[in-house]
């Protein structure tokens, strides 16, 4: 191993080029800083390469395949619809390449230096970057840590040939005949749905009493109904205990509601959460404060207890979501440039790209009750919306939560077609302090799914048009 003889100095060093890191780097460069980014893998991080983007591409492909098989009710019959899974993977990779290439072009346009390798802090102003047999030193005035997270590995189910994380599952070259998914959260449900639609026999094991724990029970029920139509077996209150490899797969032993079960499958997909990537950075050695979970403690600007070092994204408190990381990246870059920016959001939307989609922002009814808020609710069904019916997507609803008296919009829960897009309007309403009347009196184009939000507001206010009160 050769230690570099030179030290490079930059205004801002960003460690990690995911949706938090690359956004922070670009914003810092826009504000006149010299910026370098350390990345051990590919630009775009987990999200663009092995997470958000490839999974959504696969979800769209699976939905297209399913849709092609079930259009008889519209008077359209298709024959011999087939899946070329290698071609699906090729198309997915093309989407990823286009987006990651776009990040590279933006870096060039903003004169951001890319440093391949892994960073290790040696002081409050210096890291060493290891890349193969080379080690070089980089000094910085400010640093933003954006190293993200990785899948949690269960001791009884070590990742390997038959036990996959989401990363390996998205890169399979052939469709599995069968798969056990351990964990019925958003990653397990999204990927389980993909493989089920492509024809894999899927079994889901979830420890809680419902899939997608954290969402109101009515929302996952619609998702569960669709999964059962896809011949997915769902076991809740289930604890996966161990496995035995066979010649062509695995046998999973699980305790389901107090009873022992054995499930045979080709593969196991483990999706039980993610762990912050802070354990190999050397941050504890320079006195940085971390929680017991390995999260870095930061203030409202993303600043750690070391004043010139910031942290954002999955390695700090809050939901591990790409859009949260991007938001925090901009705040940190602006704080470094001397702007009075700070994390001040009222609500972060959460979306699951299952079938039907579900989305939530702000508070739900249970949280409103726990906080002692006097609230009103408007829940409008997709089945009463012309656009939804014309799409053959009448399942689901939009539910708005408003404060009684002021009618301020406090939250929303959506299950149904395009929930991931509809939720944005309600997030904006919460952030700007809008009322239910503001949504009601905004003219929504007809016929669109967005009208469901307007009609939910009318229902909450007591004068719905297209349903009886």
* Number of neighbouring beta carbons within 10 Å of residue 247: 4
**Minimal CA–CA distance to 258: which of 239, 272, 241, 244?**
239
Token pair for 379? 């829940």
**Minimal CA–CA distance to 398: which of 419, 428, 427?**
419
Q: State the pairing for strand pair 163-164/350-352.
A: unpaired
- Asked whether residue 149 is marked as a ligand-binding residue, the answer is yes
Token pair for 254? 């699980």
Angle at 118 between CA 116 and CA 119, to 5 degrees: 115
- Asked whether residue 341 is marked as a ligand-binding residue, the answer is no
Helices and strands (H and E) in the chain: how many = 13, 22
Burial label for 259, CB within 10 Å (0-12, 13-18, 19+), is exposed
Token pair for 358? 């579900």
- Asked whether residue 314 is marked as a ligand-binding residue, the answer is yes
* Number of neighbouring beta carbons within 10 Å of residue 257: 11
**Minimal CA–CA distance to 25: which of 110, 100, 98, 96?**
110
DSSP class of residue 112 equals -
Alpha helix ranges (H) inside 240-378 = 322-336, 365-370
- Asked whether residue 189 is marked as a ligand-binding residue, the answer is yes
Alpha helix ranges (H) inside 13-130 = 21-30, 45-50, 52-69, 85-109
Cross-strand pairs, 181 = 204, 269
- Asked whether residue 147 is marked as a ligand-binding residue, the answer is yes
- Asked whether residue 342 is marked as a ligand-binding residue, the answer is no
Confirm if 354 and 229 have CB atoms less than 8 A apart: no
- Asked whether residue 165 is marked as a ligand-binding residue, the answer is no
Reduced to 3 states (helix: H, G, I; strand: E, B; else coil), residue 403 is strand
DSSP string, 90-109: HHHHHHHHHHHHHHHHHHHH
- Asked whether residue 206 is marked as a ligand-binding residue, the answer is yes
Residue positions annotated with a catalytic role:
446
Cross-strand pairs, 289 = none
- Asked whether residue 394 is marked as a ligand-binding residue, the answer is no
Residues annotated within a binding site: 56, 147-149, 183-190, 206, 273, 314
Residues annotated within a binding site for FAD: 56, 147-149, 314
Residues annotated within a binding site for NAD(+): 183-190, 206, 273
């Amino acid at each position: 191993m050769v230690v570099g003889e030179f030290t490079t100095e930059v205004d801002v060093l960003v460690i990690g080029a995911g949706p938090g890191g690359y956004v922070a780097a670009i914003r810092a460069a826009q504000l006149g800083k010299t910026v370098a980014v350390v990345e051990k893998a590919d630009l775009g991080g987990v999200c663009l390469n092995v997470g958000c983007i490839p999974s959504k591409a696969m979800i769209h492909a699976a939905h297209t395949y399913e849709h092609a098989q079930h259009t008889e009710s519209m008077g359209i019959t298709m024959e011999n619809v087939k899946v070329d899974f290698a071609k699906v993977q090729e198309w997915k990779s093309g989407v990823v390449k286009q987006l990651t290439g776009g990040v590279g072009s933006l870096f060039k346009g903003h004169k951001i230096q890319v440093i391949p390798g892994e960073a290790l802090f040696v002081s409050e102003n210096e890291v060493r970057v290891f890349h193969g047999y080379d080690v070089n030193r980089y000094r910085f005035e400010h640093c933003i840590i954006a190293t993200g997270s990785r899948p949690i590995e269960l001791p009884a189910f070590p990742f390997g040939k038959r036990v996959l994380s989401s990363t390996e599952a998205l890169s399979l070259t052939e469709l599995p005949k069968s798969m056990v998914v351990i964990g019925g959260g958003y990653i397990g449900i999204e990927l389980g749905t993909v493989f089920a639609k492509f024809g894999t026999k899927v079994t889901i094991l979830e420890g809680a009493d419902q899939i997608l724990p954290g969402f109101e029970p009515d929302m996952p029920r619609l998702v569960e109904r669709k999964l059962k139509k896809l011949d997915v077996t769902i076991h809740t209150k289930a604890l996966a205990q161990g496995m035995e490899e066979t010649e062509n797969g695995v046998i999973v032993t699980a305790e389901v509601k107090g009873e022992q079960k054995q499930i045979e499958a080709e593969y196991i997909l483990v999706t039980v959460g993610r762990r912050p990537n802070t354990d190999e950075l050397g941050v504890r050695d320079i006195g940085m404060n971390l929680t017991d979970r390995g999260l870095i403690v930061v203030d409202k600007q993303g600043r750690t207890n070391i004043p010139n070092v910031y942290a954002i994204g999955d390695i700090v408190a809050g939901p591990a979501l790409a859009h949260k990381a991007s938001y925090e990246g901009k705040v940190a870059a602006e704080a470094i440039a001397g702007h009075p920016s700070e994390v001040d959001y009222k609500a972060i939307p959460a979306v699951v790209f299952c079938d039907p989609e579900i989305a939530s922002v702000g508070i739900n009814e249970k949280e409103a009750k726990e906080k002692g808020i006097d609230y009103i609710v408007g829940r409008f069904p997709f089945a009463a919306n012309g656009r939804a019916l014309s799409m053959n997507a009448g399942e689901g609803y939009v539910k708005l939560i408003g404060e009684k008296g002021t009618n301020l919009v406090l939250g929303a829960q959506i299950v149904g077609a395009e929930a991931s897009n509809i939720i944005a309007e309600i997030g904006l309403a919460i952030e700007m302090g809008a009322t239910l009347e503001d949504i009601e009196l905004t003219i929504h184009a007809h016929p669109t799914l967005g009208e469901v939000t307007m009609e939910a507001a009318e229902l909450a206010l007591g004068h719905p048009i297209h349903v009886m009160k």
